[in-house]
């Protein structure tokens, strides 16, 4: 018997990764979500889970040991910048291990049928981080590590990642660019940071045809996202027949977000979620693991996540 409720992964360490005053990727994001879920009563509809930290071995499925050690050492030394906008504090290494751990355990719970789906309410985010480089507020690539875990530990052969963060997930794309076992699909604003994710980037070698980049311009509204979902994303998903669907759920395509110009409303995140869930029910017994990425306006983030969770809980 499957438990009918979404498992929600949260750990207090996500509040202790301190990026410094004025940084958009700040602990207030998680606090705003905690407050909003309580206010709306959604907190009692999900089953809360406390993640364990990812093991070094798990992080190494996607990152070089030298890079992991460097992150550990900078944090142990009190923190500092890894690039112009990726800042560590003393707790950031532990928080990053927990952020990836949440993703791994979300995969475990969904693959074992303990929950139909899971949402990892974690930070730091992950989709920009590369094998040996931190980038764009991201330390370890949580969703890539989760997908590798699904392949290695659960013996899956096909995982589909949908990344609707407003920025292209260059790190995730790189991880699976030559890999036919993970389909990476991104809807993102272009031109915008990090500048990758052109429609002609479609994978290479064995991975040719398993990367799909859908670009939108600043000002794009939900009706275009709905068309892209129905005409591009879901057909690709049905063709691929994944055994697990993962979502890089960023909420910075919200109209209130200060870092981009896409104009999605709260409800558009519910529409995207319900569309993916319907397809997941047809294709892979509803197995969806969603992982928080960006979203920098606290009200927009809270409203978007509320609709996303309502979708995951089947309340829409
Ligand atoms: Zn983003």
Q: What are the tens digits of pLDDT across the range 275-289?
A: 999 999 999 999 999
27 lies in some domain: yes
**What would the two tokens of residue 72 be?**
């550990």
Q: How far apart are CA 151 and CA 154, in angstroms?
A: 6
Q: State the chain's mean pLDDT as an integer.
A: 97
31 lies in some domain: yes
102 lies in some domain: yes
170 lies in some domain: yes
Run of H or E including 307: helix 298-312
Q: Whose structure tokens read 């910075």?
A: 252
28 lies in some domain: yes
Phi and psi angles of residue 9, each rounded to the nearest 5 degrees, phi first: -95, 125
Model confidence band, residue 4 (pLDDT cutoffs 50, 70, 90): confident
Task: State the residue range of the domain holding 104.
Answer: 7-312
How many domains does the chain contain in total?
1
Question: What distance in angstroms lies between residue 252's CA and the mean position of ligand 1's atoms?
Answer: 6
90 lies in some domain: yes
CATH of the domain at 145: 3.40.800.20
Question: What distance in angstroms lies between residue 114's CA and the mean position of ligand 1's atoms?
Answer: 30
Short-list 124, 236, 119, 122, CA closest to 171: 124
pLDDT at 130 over 50: yes
39 lies in some domain: yes
* pTM of this structure: 0.98
Question: What distance in angstroms lies between residue 110's CA and the mean position of ligand 1's atoms?
Answer: 25
Q: What is the pLDDT of residues 68-93, one digit of tens each?
A: 999 999 999 999 999 989 999 999 99
308 is a catalytic site residue: no
66 by Cβ neighbours in 10 Å (0-12 / 13-18 / 19+) ranks as exposed
Model confidence band, residue 165 (pLDDT cutoffs 50, 70, 90): very high
pLDDT at 54 over 90: yes
Q: How far apart are CA 96 and CA 72, in angstroms?
A: 10
Catalytic residue chosen out of the listed positions 7, 36, 63, 128: 128
**What would the two tokens of residue 214 be?**
């859908």
Give the mean model confidence (pLDDT) for residues 143-157: 98
Give the mean model confidence (pLDDT) for residues 240-264: 98
Question: What distance in angstroms lies between residue 59's CA and the mean position of ligand 1's atoms?
Answer: 22
Contact of 178 with 206, CB cutoff 8 Å: yes
Short-list 49, 161, 60, 151, CA closest to 102: 49
Q: Residue 208 carries which DSSP code?
A: T
Run of H or E including 270: helix 266-283
194 by Cβ neighbours in 10 Å (0-12 / 13-18 / 19+) ranks as middle
**What would the two tokens of residue 193 be?**
């940071």
Q: Residue 110 carries which DSSP code?
A: H
Question: What distance in angstroms lies between residue 138's CA and the mean position of ligand 1's atoms?
Answer: 10
Model confidence band, residue 219 (pLDDT cutoffs 50, 70, 90): very high
1 lies in some domain: no
Give the mean model confidence (pLDDT) for residues 198-212: 98
Query: Quick count: other Cβ atoms within 10 Å of Cβ 54?
Result: 25
The torsion defined by the Cα of 53, 112, 138 and 173, in degrees rounded to 10, comes to: 140
pLDDT at 51 over 50: yes
pLDDT at 2: 42
CA Rg value for the chain: 17
Question: What distance in angstroms lies between residue 112's CA and the mean position of ligand 1's atoms?
Answer: 30
């Amino acid at each position: 018997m499957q438990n009918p409720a979404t498992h929600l992964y949260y750990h207090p360490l996500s509040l202790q990764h301190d990026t410094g005053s004025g940084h958009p990727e700040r602990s207030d994001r998680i606090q705003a979500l905690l407050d909003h879920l309580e206010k709306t009563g959604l907190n009692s509809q999900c089953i809360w889970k406390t993640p364990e930290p990812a093991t070094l071995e798990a992080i190494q499925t996607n990152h070089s040991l030298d890079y992991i050690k460097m992150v550990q050492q900078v944090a142990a030394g009190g923190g500092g910048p890894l690039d112009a906008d990726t800042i560590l504090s003393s707790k950031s290494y532990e928080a990053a291990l927990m952020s990836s751990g949440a993703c791994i355990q979300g995969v475990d719970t969904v693959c074992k049928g303990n929950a139909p789906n899971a949402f990892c309410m974690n930070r730091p985010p992950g989709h920009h981080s590369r094998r040996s480089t931190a980038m764009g507020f991201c330390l370890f690539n949580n969703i890539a590590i989760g997908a590798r875990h699904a392949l290695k530990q659960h013996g899956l052969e096909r995982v589909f990642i949908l990344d609707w963060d407003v920025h292209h997930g260059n790190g995730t794309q790189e991880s699976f660019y030559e890999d036919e076992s993970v389909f990476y699909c991104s809807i993102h604003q272009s031109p915008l940071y990090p500048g990758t994710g052109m429609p002609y980037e479609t994978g290479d070698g064995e991975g040719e045809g398993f990367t799909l980049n859908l670009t939108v311009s600043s000002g794009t509204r939900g009706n275009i996202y709905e068309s892209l979902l129905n005409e591009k994303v879901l057909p690709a998903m049905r063709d691929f027949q994944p055994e697990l669907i993962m979502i890089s759920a960023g909420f910075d395509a919200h109209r209130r977000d200060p870092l981009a110009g896409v104009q999605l409303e709260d409800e558009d995140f519910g529409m995207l979620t319900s569309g993916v869930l319907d397809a997941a029910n047809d294709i892979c017994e509803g197995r969806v693991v969603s992982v928080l990425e960006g979203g920098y306006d606290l009200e927009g983030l809270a409203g978007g996540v509320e609709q996303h969770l309502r979708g995951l809980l089947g309340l829409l």
